[in-house]
Structure 1
């Protein structure tokens, strides 16, 4: 397949994921999921996202070169170290999220216990890795993405995945500002979004 056509198809696949995933994450998409899946709405959201992302990956595998770049061993090792760092940091960061709520299992369990009003969003966390970056799991994702950029396919995944994270975060930050108000505004002013650059103001206590 022509490289330009392949990259065009891959770009279209990523765009479809970005639009679909972002719509489901917005209030209208949440209402749609809740209306069709009830307490299983968050589980359905995650399942749809994983399936859609898997289809994007299949498009990439079918249209892009998967042969690894001819890299010096030191460079290859450095890139792969990013992936390991991302995996380890992601595991650490997950300790500071309510993964039951994030996966949707907590909402399903609450509904089975007769508590249908279990909130989907957890309280604002300012501890652990949130002291250094506002989106620790996204930092882990960046490291994993670029740690896998050892082939044309991997590089494309890293580039498009990173673009989605940056654009998606813009929408997410708007939601978080509405949800947490002044507390999140202070967090934004004091803590960087993805990478722990030196702060311009004192850290959150």
Structure 2
């Protein structure tokens, strides 16, 4: 549902249904779906036992969770949270064409290391909490969803920003900062 509502006809349908509250509605639907999936998963996994894990692995997982929270928090600082959450669209509903103005391409902060720092944070959080069958299944399927979703997201970003995004994509890795801090001059 998240993917269907994020692009093309889904965006248009939400726009017709909710007007300037479409982004806020999209976020609310995403949270409700996530909650429903987690509740269903807990119901399915009721009675399953946690995995036996070595103390070193448990500490490594806690470090991954801490890193995921830190990276996620730092990454959010680079976004316009009003647009991200949807409140900006409500505040600017009387401005003609405001909803059609794309957000600026973010290539600063953690985006100099990875193109999708929020996904990187989510991977760390997902895998950091794996302690049983439900958490493992969630980490596997959510990771696959993020990788596939990134492919669609990047197609949208190329349509929005053209060669600027293509150049950024060539220079900066998607999730793992294996290149270190990348020089991004001339990409704005």
Cα contact 1:39–1:116 (8 A) shared by 2: no
| Separation of aligned partners in 2, 1:52 and 1:172 | 20
Cα contact 1:69–1:151 (8 A) shared by 2: yes
Matched position secondary structure for 1:125: coil
Matched position secondary structure for 1:71: coil
Partner of 1:204: 184
TM-score by length of 2: 0.92
Matched position secondary structure for 2:99: coil
Aligned match for 1:193, one of 174, 178, 186: 174
Matched, 1:118 2:98: yes
Q: Which moved more, 1:66-75 or 1:86-95?
A: 66-75
Aligned match for 2:157, one of 176, 183, 203: 176
| Separation of aligned partners in 1, 2:96 and 2:39 | 37
Matches within 5 A, 1:1-205: 20-64=1-45, 67-111=49-93, 114-119=94-99, 121-198=102-179, 203-205=183-185
| Separation of aligned partners in 2, 1:145 and 1:118 | 35
| Separation of aligned partners in 2, 1:99 and 1:68 | 37
Aligned residues: 182
Cα contact 2:20–2:99 (8 A) shared by 1: no
Segments of structure 2 that go 5 or more residues without pairing to the other structure are: none
Q: CA RMSD in A?
A: 1.4
| Separation of aligned partners in 2, 1:164 and 1:99 | 23
Q: Residue 116 of structure 1: CA displacement? A: 4.5
